[in-house]
């Protein structure tokens, strides 16, 4: 395939030679993404709005939903090797794809900037511990330097990110285990005490599920970007759907559902016992009586955890989106631009509103993934004309069925919040997602019937 104004080397369909992710690479990528500051913080902020037992159930339900969406939406990358930003053209058109791309990029930029801030904050505290209070480096300078390091790692591609996860994950396992044991010991508590902790019940269960799932609905949209890099077994084309998905299902169970659930639960325990959701503050409260070496090691682990998540879950998807919007950009330049945008919006200013932000994002992202799934499975029956996605002459600029479905579905999600002031926000994602899956094929069917009538009239 020759590149044109709609294509560059990084956006082309991947070949079998380029697919270099093994099962363990894929699993570690997911483990590296889920052992993260965002999950820890969400777990800390869910209590006391929800009881500990309800939080655990919400985590399991949320991650099961996300895992199913990841498998279903990732098939287009596994089968055809196309990235998410390119497949959007099939649903929304070449120019229409800009709208969902921008919506998808917002949480990428937000979380990249937010987690870079957390990592830089940990580095600043670490330097004070090791060199004394007189040695204080400007936080914004550290944010910039830390962002540069992450960009350097990201431009090496998914294989480079997976190698970094081999270092970050063992450190995080040690850190989370130590934090839980130390907190329970110093507060003279047990897991039985944690599970029976009283709650205010200001959050509904559906709200909690949407808030937890909202963190990863973003990656469910981009699952094709990972699927297109997974090694495919011999005779891939002859295997049935679920057999082809064995690697992705197994990797997501271990890396997302298992590891991700543990991370949120650690954040929940920390929030109950310390009243803090920020992991840096939790470390300071938890290990303040220990040696500088232990405190420093804990803070350094936070840095690695943030790093392993940020490059794969935030910077890489944003880079592909920026390239799709401006195909003349190289992967390196698009990565730099994405990082700069993430820092300029200063997401740390909204650090206390992570769960409402995630739910709001899910209302907008839910219809997009619903449209993509309906288009791929119900309309196209998992058959894509690859060349048309990269050919301006054979691709519509705007596809009104998808745009109309997005507008109506997102509006219905917003209307749910308005009509049910207290509980509506918890159901807004489900309303928007389900409506998009139902509405899009119906509108597409009507459009095709209408085009058929026009062709018949022209023939006469």
CA distance 234 to 228: 16
> What is the residue whose two structure tokens read 């990110």?
161
- Contact, 207 vs 426, CB < 8 A? yes
CA distance 233 to 224: 17
| pLDDT at 314 (0 to 100) | 83
| pLDDT at 111 (0 to 100) | 86
| pLDDT at 458 (0 to 100) | 39
- Domain range for 201: 9-354
Q: Is 406 inside any structural domain?
A: no
The CA distances from residue 224 to 78, 110, 363, 407, in Å, are 7, 21, 21, 24
HSE-CB at 335 with a 13 A cutoff on CA atoms is 21
Q: Is 203 inside any structural domain?
A: yes
Q: Is 91 inside any structural domain?
A: yes
* Structural domains in the chain (count): 1
Structure tokens belonging to residue 225: 């970007």
The CA distances from residue 40 to 109, 261, 444, in Å, are 19, 10, 41
- Contact, 249 vs 64, CB < 8 A? no
pTM (predicted TM-score): 0.78
CATH number at residue 70: 1.10.4160.10
Q: Is 407 inside any structural domain?
A: no
The separation between the first and the last C-alpha atoms of the chain, rounded to the nearest angstrom, is 39
> CA quadruple 43, 49, 50, 52: dihedral positive or negative?
positive
Mean pLDDT by 10 residues, the chain (460 residues): 60 85 84 74 82 90 89 90 87 89 88 87 80 74 89 76 67 76 84 86 81 77 86 79 85 86 85 79 72 73 74 83 83 91 89 73 87 94 85 78 94 83 70 93 78 42
> What is the residue whose two structure tokens read 């209307």?
415
Q: Is 345 inside any structural domain?
A: yes
Q: Is 458 inside any structural domain?
A: no
The dihedral over CA atoms of 430, 433, 434, 437, expressed in degrees to the nearest 10, equals -170
The dihedral over CA atoms of 302, 305, 308, 312, expressed in degrees to the nearest 10, equals -110
| pLDDT at 436 (0 to 100) | 95
Alpha helix positions (H), 93-204: 98-131, 139-154, 158-186, 191-195
CA distance 328 to 323: 7
């Amino acid at each position: 395939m020759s590149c044109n104004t709609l294509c560059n080397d990084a956006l082309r369909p991947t070949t079998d030679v380029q697919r270099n992710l093994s099962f363990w690479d894929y699993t570690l990528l997911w483990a590296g993404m889920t052992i993260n500051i965002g999950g820890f913080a969400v777990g800390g902020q869910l209590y006391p709005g929800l009881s500990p037992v309800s939080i655990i159930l919400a985590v399991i339900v949320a991650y099961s939903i996300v895992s199913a969406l990841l498998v279903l939406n990732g098939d287009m990358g596994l089968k055809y090797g196309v990235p998410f930003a390119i497949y959007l053209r099939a649903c929304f058109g070449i120019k229409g794809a800009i709208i969902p791309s921008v919506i998808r990029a917002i949480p990428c930029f937000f979380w990249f900037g937010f987690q870079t801030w957390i990592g830089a904050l940990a580095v600043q505290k670490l330097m004070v511990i090791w060199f004394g209070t007189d040695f204080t480096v400007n936080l914004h300078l550290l944010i910039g330097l830390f962002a540069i390091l992450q960009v350097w790692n990201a431009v090496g591609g998914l294989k480079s990110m997976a190698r970094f996860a081999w270092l970050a994950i063992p450190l995080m396992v040690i850190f989370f285990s130590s934090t839980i044991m130390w907190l329970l010991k110093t507060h003279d508590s047990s897991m039985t005490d944690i599970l029976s902790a009283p709650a205010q019940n200001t959050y509904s269960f559906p709200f909690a599920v949407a808030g937890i799932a909202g963190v990863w609905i973003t990656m469910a949209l981009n699952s094709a970007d990972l699927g297109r890099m997974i090694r495919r077994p011999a005779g891939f084309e002859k295997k049935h759907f679920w057999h082809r998905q064995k690697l992705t299902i197994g990797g997501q169970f271990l890396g997302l559902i298992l590891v991700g659930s543990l991370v949120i639960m650690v954040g929940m325990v920390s929030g109950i016992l310390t009243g803090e959701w920020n992991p840096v503050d939790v470390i300071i409260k938890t290990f303040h009586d220990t040696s500088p070496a232990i405190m420093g090691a804990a803070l350094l682990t936070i840095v690695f955890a943030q790093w392993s998540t940020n490059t794969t879950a935030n910077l890489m998807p944003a880079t592909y989106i920026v390239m799709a919007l401006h195909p003349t950009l190289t992967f390196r330049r698009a990565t730099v631009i994405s990082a700069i945008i993430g820092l300029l919006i200063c997401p740390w200013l909204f650090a206390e509103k992570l769960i409402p932000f995630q739910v709001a994002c899910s209302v907008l992202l839910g219809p997009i993934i619903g449209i993509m799934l309906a288009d791929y499975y119900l309309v196209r029956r998992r058959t894509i004309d690859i060349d048309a996605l990269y050919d301006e002459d054979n691709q519509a600029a705007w596809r009104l069925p998808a745009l109309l479905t997005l507008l109506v579905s997102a509006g219905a999600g917003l209307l749910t919040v308005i009509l049910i002031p207290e509980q509506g926000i918890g159901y807004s994602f489900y309303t928007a997602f389900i409506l998009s899956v139902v509405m899009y094929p119906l509108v597409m069917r009507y459009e095709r019937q209408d085009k058929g009538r026009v062709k018949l009239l022209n023939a006469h």
